[in-house]
Amino acid sequence: MDRHILFRSFLYPKLEAVNMDPKFLNRNVNEGFSSGEKKRNEILQLAGSKDLFLSKKNLGFPAKAISKGLELSCSGAGDGKDGELKWREPSISTILTGFGNSFDPYGALATPLYQTSTFNQPSATECGPYDYTRSGNPTRDVLQGLMAKLEKADSAFCFTSGMAALDAATSLIEPDQEIVAGDDIYGGTDRLLQLVRKRGVVVKQVNMCDLSEVASAIGPRTRLVWLESPTNPRQQIIDIRKVAELAHSQGAIVMVDNSIMSPVLCQPLELGADIVMESATKFISGHSDLMAGVLAVKGQSLAKSIAFLQNAEGTGLAPFDCWLCLRGIKTMSLRVKEQQRSAHMLAEFLSSHPRVKQVYYAGLPSHPGHSLHFCQAKGAGSVLSFLTGSLALSKHIADTVKYFSTTVSFGSVKSLISLPCFMSHASIPAAVREARGLTEDLVRISVGIEDVDDLIVDLDYAIRSGPLS
């Protein structure tokens, strides 16, 4: 058997418990292995005959095969039932630092960059595990496997941008079918929905906070219900569980744009969603040096459809961008938690400032969706917005701050500031923005990893030095 195929079979270990009975080794191997009839003990014997090392990370349990020997270790295991040894589910921080590239024959600690467009085949009539990077690449497979694990998904797919990922999801919808989407959404999403309408898809945009309005909009022709929570930029909180129940009762699927939260703070598939979209440009990579999007899905049917679209449309993320993302993602948990801590302090400061009219941040107890949000997420994140009551003052703040970059996007290690009506949401007609409560004086902040005291002093000066009217 090919060495590469052997290692690739352990990319997605499914075992959660170790039974010390030898019959344990007779369980079927993972789906990724070329022959579903092969048994795990045969794999171990084959590994030994080829002098391959299979670490506990490869196997998913504390075992290693060196030459023809198999060692089982039960140190660190918790007590299980019926003689089983169960392992504690690792936290996201541990997964991020410990997720390796089990297919690499040299045991590289960092995932190698397979910067190639095509792969040599065993012969003209045999196909190896990879043939063309558009269809698959080892570096991309590692990132996709990691994202599936983080999102608790059956499969995950990485795209050239968040918008490419969203567009792939819309390709699941046939003409005359319906999409029900929120009305307080990212400007790029709103632009994409305009294009989707031209394909003959019916798009209804509703206030997702009003469950009666959502229920009225969803019907037998509804194929997809699409939401963000918290919304961007007004931080409205949507009840993901109840929206999923309403959608599923009509046979529709639910997609949640989780970019503002990241999988560190929220895992919508656990709340009833069928698809989770992440703009990996944001918190996942975290350094403003690449563009990427992710679709994580439940079920083999959706996975097959998305995989086909990714290959057919050629929108799979390039190996170098996958490698950059894998490098940045290792610190995602640390970054998100530190950014969130600073954001909460900034939100408290702004909410008490005499020149700030209103602060939108789900982490504040005064936020109307505070309790609901913390029923479905572990934290409020690091994106917030506020109103000053004056466009002139808001513009002055954005132009005056020293430690915030005036730019679109969020989730970077660098703090960012923007006026959404003139930047990220400028493509939405002014009348529509006004009807949705998106006013021109709204300031959005994405908090980075700078010293929060510096950020507070910077913002305070910018606000106090601004025009009075």
Domain with residue 277: its CATH number is 3.40.640.10
Q: Are residues 202 and 301 in the same domain?
A: yes
**Residue 100 within any structural domain of the chain:** no
Per-residue pLDDT reduced to its tens digit, 153-180: 999 999 999 999 999 999 999 999 999 9
Q: Are residues 319 and 190 in the same domain?
A: yes
How sure is the predictor about 105, in pLDDT bands with cuts at 50, 70 and 90? confident
Q: Are residues 60 and 150 in the same domain?
A: no
Neighbours of 75 (CB within 10 A): 6
Q: Are residues 247 and 150 in the same domain?
A: yes
How sure is the predictor about 29, in pLDDT bands with cuts at 50, 70 and 90? very low
Tell me what pLDDT residue 457 has: 98
Point out the least confidently predicted range of 91-100, 113-122, 370-379: 91-100
Q: Identify the domain boundary among 89, 105, 126.
A: 89
The yes-or-no verdict on residue 33 having pLDDT over 60 is: no
The yes-or-no verdict on residue 42 having pLDDT over 50 is: yes
User: Does the model's pTM come out above 0.95?
Assistant: no
Q: What is the mean pLDDT of the chain?
A: 85
Considering the chain, what percentage of its residues have pLDDT values greater than 70?
Answer: 81
**Residue 48 within any structural domain of the chain:** yes
Q: Are residues 319 and 193 in the same domain?
A: yes
Q: Are residues 223 and 308 in the same domain?
A: yes
Tell me what pLDDT residue 167 has: 98
25 or 276, which is more confident: 276
How sure is the predictor about 183, in pLDDT bands with cuts at 50, 70 and 90? very high
**Residue 116 within any structural domain of the chain:** no
**Residue 119 within any structural domain of the chain:** no
Who's near 105: CB < 8 A, 6+ residues apart? 3, 4, 7, 52
Catalytic residue among 167, 257, 321, 458: 257
Q: Are residues 185 and 322 in the same domain?
A: yes
Tell me what pLDDT residue 215 has: 98
Catalytic residue among 149, 282, 335, 444: 282
Per-residue pLDDT reduced to its tens digit, 324-359: 999 999 999 999 999 999 999 999 999 999 999 999
The yes-or-no verdict on residue 209 having pLDDT over 90 is: yes
Q: Which contacts of 7-10 are long-range, i.e. CB under 8 A and separated by 24 or more positions? A: 7/52, 7/58, 7/102, 7/103, 7/104, 7/105, 8/32, 8/103, 8/129, 8/138, 8/141, 9/33, 9/34, 9/43, 10/54, 10/58, 10/59, 10/60, 10/102, 10/103
For the ranges 52-56, 317-321, 432-436, the maximum mean pLDDT occurs at: 317-321
Q: Identify the domain boundary among 310, 329, 348.
A: 329
How sure is the predictor about 447, in pLDDT bands with cuts at 50, 70 and 90? very high
Tell me what pLDDT residue 61 has: 30
Q: Identify the domain boundary among 329, 363, 379.
A: 329
Tell me what pLDDT residue 435 has: 83
CATH code of the domain covering residue 431: 3.90.1150.10
Tell me what pLDDT residue 432 has: 83
Domain that holds residue 325: 138-329
Q: Are residues 230 and 250 in the same domain?
A: yes
Tell me what pLDDT residue 86 has: 57
Tell me what pLDDT residue 60 has: 35
Q: Would you call 282 a catalytic residue per the annotation? A: yes
Q: Would you call 257 a catalytic residue per the annotation? A: yes
Q: Are residues 359 and 407 in the same domain?
A: yes
Tell me what pLDDT residue 21 has: 34
Q: Would you call 461 a catalytic residue per the annotation? A: no
What are 297's two structure tokens? Answer: 């899905």
Who's near 138: CB < 8 A, 6+ residues apart? 8, 101, 103, 112, 114, 130
Domain count, the chain: 3
Q: Are residues 348 and 318 in the same domain?
A: no
Per-residue pLDDT reduced to its tens digit, 351-389: 999 999 999 999 999 999 999 999 999 999 999 999 999
Catalytic residue among 56, 57, 134, 234: 134
Per-residue pLDDT reduced to its tens digit, 406-424: 999 999 999 999 999 999 8
**Residue 337 within any structural domain of the chain:** yes
The yes-or-no verdict on residue 63 having pLDDT over 50 is: no
Q: What distance in Å separates the CA atoms of residue 149 and residue 145, rounded to the nearest whole number?
A: 6
The yes-or-no verdict on residue 56 having pLDDT over 50 is: no
Q: What distance in Å separates the CA atoms of residue 85 and residue 18, rounded to the nearest whole number?
A: 5
For the ranges 53-62, 107-116, 283-292, 426-435, the maximum mean pLDDT occurs at: 283-292
**Residue 104 within any structural domain of the chain:** no
**Residue 102 within any structural domain of the chain:** no
Q: Are residues 157 and 301 in the same domain?
A: yes
Q: Are residues 370 and 431 in the same domain?
A: yes
